[in-house]
């Protein structure tokens, strides 16, 4: 078994003269939760899209479980899954129908039993025949997360997964995701703007700004190492730094 | 190739149709209206025309064939557009789904929806207007096959066009059958057309079906070679359409179009 769930090497994405992501390299180990942090437009979603194979990098490579996504897209993506606020499941299908459709797409063995497990695990049983579009945003997030773990992925990408959840539900979700990482050995790449959540959940964080990784380390130790009181303070400073530099330059 | 992802694409459409009369109704309503309208026109022309022309076959039969072709094409388009409307591309294409499996699922859906339309048309045209397709015997097979294959090819190609140009280009898809109908000679022989239109017509497989149908009605031998050519031509168009769709998909992945696909048109 490969030691890395994800290995991104010198990943770049350019749109004409715009450099959305610039030569970033990072990895996610099995059982590790890595936070991808950065201000809006920093390149987080672009990076996740490249890892998911829906955006082709201008250069660099992505390996999931040691499989190069550019060469063996389907085999690589069979080991992964994702949940993102901007990629809601079809609202005109019921919860159970969505799980069945995506279970077939991911070729999940013992699908009916797996769906049953997830309905219980994510407290969705009473909603199984409700159309996803009629659910509250918190319930939709739970369905998206149930879909994201349907195929027991070795790499899970979560783009602001708790953004619509109330504090209690978000806490339960974080506990569940931490347990999943430690019990199943799944590597998780997590983006969030909630610094408390990142500190509580992630083993390691990557600060991205203007398409580059500026900092990397333990979210609990990083603030002190860089003279900040909290992760949020460090985030704000890093997020404004390039802006201040460019303002000064102009 | 794994078949479960193909089943997933088709199953999604089945779920949608099962729970939505507004999706089921158009599959039979428009073709039923066409059958009734053209059925009565054919009956009227049969009663007032001295010439021994069977308008039931030459008009109503032609409409039925053309509607079938249109349903096949739109079967692919509608299944594709469901994913456009639901903004489902990221979910689909971030999964292990292959393009060939996705297109396979769309085709499977088109087979089911067009068969429903065909059965609805036959259920009206046969008992009410005496259109007996069984009289065509085995010839029905190449006729239906040509129309089906070309419908699939055009459905895949136009879906690719919507992927490339954005959801707002959906309206470009619907008039395409009407745009093609003058060239394929649904109601008249290709020889009626000016030579440049005939040349276009000969490149379109359905024209061979309608020419063959008219030849049979006039008591001439069915042009077997022409029908074989039409099947080959339609199969070639399917390959070209799938290649075009795949090329557009790759462009969409490369340019970021797929990741940002939204309700707005893309340049």
Q: Do A92 and B16 touch (CB under 8 A)?
A: yes
Angle A61-B96-A102 from CA coordinates, rounded to 5° = 140
Number of neighbouring beta carbons within 10 Å of residue A74: 17
Range with lowest mean pLDDT among A150-154, A198-202, B47-51, B185-189: B47-51
Alpha-carbon span B105 to B13, nearest angstrom: 9
If you measure CA to CA, which chain A residue comes closest to B85? A90
| CB-CB neighbors (< 8 A) of A106 in chain B | 95-96
Name every chain A residue with its beta carbon within 8 A of the beta carbon of B22.
none
With an 8 Å Cβ cutoff, is A98 touching chain B? no
A101/B20 CB distance under 8 A: no
Helix axes B176-184, B62-85, angle to 10 degrees: 150
Most confident of A37-46, A163-172, B134-143, B152-161: B152-161
User: Look-up: residue for tokens 């990076």?
Assistant: A47
Q: CA neighbours within 13 Å on the CB side: how many for A140?
A: 19
Residue of A nearest to B84 (CA): A90
Instruction: Write out chain B in H/E/C secondary structure.
Output: CCCHHHHHHHHHHHHHHHCCHHHHHHHHHHHHHHHHHHHHHHHHHHHHCCCCCCHHHHHHHHHHHHHHHHHHHHHHHHHHHHHHHCCCHHHHHCCCCCHHHHHHHHHHHHHHHHHHHHHHHHHHHHHHHCCCHHHHHHHHHHHHHHHHHHHHHHHHHHHHHHHHHCHHHHHHHCCHHHHHHHHHCCCCCHHHCCHHHHHHHHCCCHHHHHHHHHHHHCCCCCCHHHHHHHHHHHHHHHHHHHHHHHHHHHHHHHHCCCCCCCCCCCC
Q: pLDDT, tens digit, for every residue of A177-213? A: 899 999 999 999 999 888 989 998 999 999 999 899 9
Mutation target among A105, A107, A153 for the B interface, most CBs of B within 10 A:
A105
**Chain A closest CA to B255's CA: distance in Å?**
7
pLDDT band at B263 (very low <50, low <70, confident <90, very high): very low
* Whether B96 contacts chain A with CB within 8 A: yes
Nearest to B35 by CA among B112, B109, B130, B102: B130
Asked if B102 reaches chain A (Cβ–Cβ under 8 Å), the answer is: no
Minimum mean pLDDT range among B7-11, B12-16, B133-137: B133-137
pLDDT at B224: 87
The model's pLDDT over A135-147, given as tens digits with 9 standing for 90+, comes to 998 899 999 999 9
Say yes or no to pLDDT of B137 above 90: no
The three-class DSSP label of residue A80 is strand
Q: How confident is the model at residue A243 (pLDDT cuts 50, 70, 90)?
A: low
Residue B135 pLDDT > 80:
no
C-alpha A174/C-alpha A20 separation (Å) is: 29
Interface of A with B in 18-77 (CB under 8 A): 46, 49, 52-56, 73-75, 77
β-strands A59-64, A4-15: how paired? antiparallel
Q: Do A54 and B98 touch (CB under 8 A)?
A: no
Going by C-beta distance under 8 Å and a sequence separation of 6 or more, which residues neighbour residue A141? A83, A85, A161, A162, A163, A164, A165, A173
Q: What is the DSSP letter of A203?
A: S
Check A54 against B253: CB less than 8 A apart: yes
- Token pair in block for residue A218: 């333990």
Is residue A134 predicted with pLDDT exceeding 90? yes
Q: Give the CA diameter of chain B.
A: 64
| Encoded tokens for B141 | 């097979």
**Mean pLDDT across the stretch A108-116?**
97
Residue A123 has pLDDT above 60, yes or no: yes
Q: Is B258 on the interface with A (CB under 8 A)?
A: yes
Work out the minimum CA distance from A45 to partner chain B, whole angstroms.
Answer: 10
pLDDT at site A242: 57
- Written as six digits, the tokens of B223 are 């042009």
């Amino acid at each position: 078994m490969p030691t890395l769930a994800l290995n991104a090497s010198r990943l770049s994405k350019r749109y004409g003269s715009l450099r959305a992501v610039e030569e970033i390299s990072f990895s996610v180990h099995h059982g590790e939760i890595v936070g991808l942090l950065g201000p809006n437009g920093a390149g987080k979603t672009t990076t996740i899209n490249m890892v998911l194979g829906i955006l082709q990098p201008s250069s660099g490579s992505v390996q999931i479980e040691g499989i190069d996504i550019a060469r063996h897209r389907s085999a690589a993506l069979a080991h992964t899954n994702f949940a993102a606020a901007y990629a809601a499941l079809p609202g005109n299908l019921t919860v159970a129908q969505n799980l069945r459709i995506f279970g077939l797409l991911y070729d999940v063995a013992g699908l009916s039993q797996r769906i049953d497990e997830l309905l219980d695990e994510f407290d969705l049983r009473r909603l199984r025949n409700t159309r996803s579009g009629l659910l509250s945003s918190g319930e939709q997030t739970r369905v998206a997360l149930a879909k994201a773990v349907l195929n027991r992925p070795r790499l899970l990408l979560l783009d602001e997964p708790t953004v619509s959840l109330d504090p209690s539900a978000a806490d339960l979700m974080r506990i569940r995701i931490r347990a999943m990482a430690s019990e199943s050995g799944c590597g998780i790449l997590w983006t969030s703007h909630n610094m408390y959540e990142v500190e509580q959940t992630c083993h390691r964080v990557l600060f991205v700004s203007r398409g580059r990784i500026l900092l990397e380390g333990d979210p609990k130790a990083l603030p002190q190492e860089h003279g900040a009181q909290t992760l949020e303070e460090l985030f704000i400073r890093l997020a404004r730094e390039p802006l201040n530099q460019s303002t000064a330059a102009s | 190739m794994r078949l479960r992802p193909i089943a997933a694409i088709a199953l999604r459409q089945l779920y949608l149709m099962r729970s939505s009369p507004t999706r089921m109704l158009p599959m039979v309503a428009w073709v039923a209206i066409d059958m009734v309208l053209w059925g009565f026109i054919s009956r009227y022309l049969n009663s007032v025309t001295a010439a021994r022309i069977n308008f039931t076959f030459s008009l109503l039969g032609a409409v039925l064939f053309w509607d079938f072709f249109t349903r096949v094409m739109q079967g692919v388009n509608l299944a594709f557009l469901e994913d456009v409307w639901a903004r489902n591309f990221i979910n689909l294409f971030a999964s292990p789904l292959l393009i060939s499996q996705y297109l396979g699922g769309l085709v499977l859906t088109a087979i089911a929806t067009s068969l429903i339309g065909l059965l609805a048309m036959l259920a009206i045209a046969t008992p009410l207007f005496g259109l007996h397709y069984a009289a065509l015997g085995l010839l029905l097979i190449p006729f239906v096959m040509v129309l089906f294959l070309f419908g699939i090819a055009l459905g895949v190609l136009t879906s690719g066009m919507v992927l490339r140009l954005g959801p707002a280009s959906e309206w470009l898809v619907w008039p395409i059958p009407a745009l093609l109908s003058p060239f394929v000679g649904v109601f008249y022989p290709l020889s009626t057309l000016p030579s440049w239109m005939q040349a276009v017509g000969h490149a379109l497989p359905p024209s061979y079906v309608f020419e063959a149908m008219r030849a049979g009605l006039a008591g001439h031998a069915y042009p077997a070679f022409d029908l074989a050519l039409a099947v080959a031509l339609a199969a070639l168009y399917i390959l070209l359409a799938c290649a075009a769709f795949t090329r557009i998909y790759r462009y969409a992945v490369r340019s970021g179009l797929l990741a940002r696909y939204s309700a707005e048109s893309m340049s």
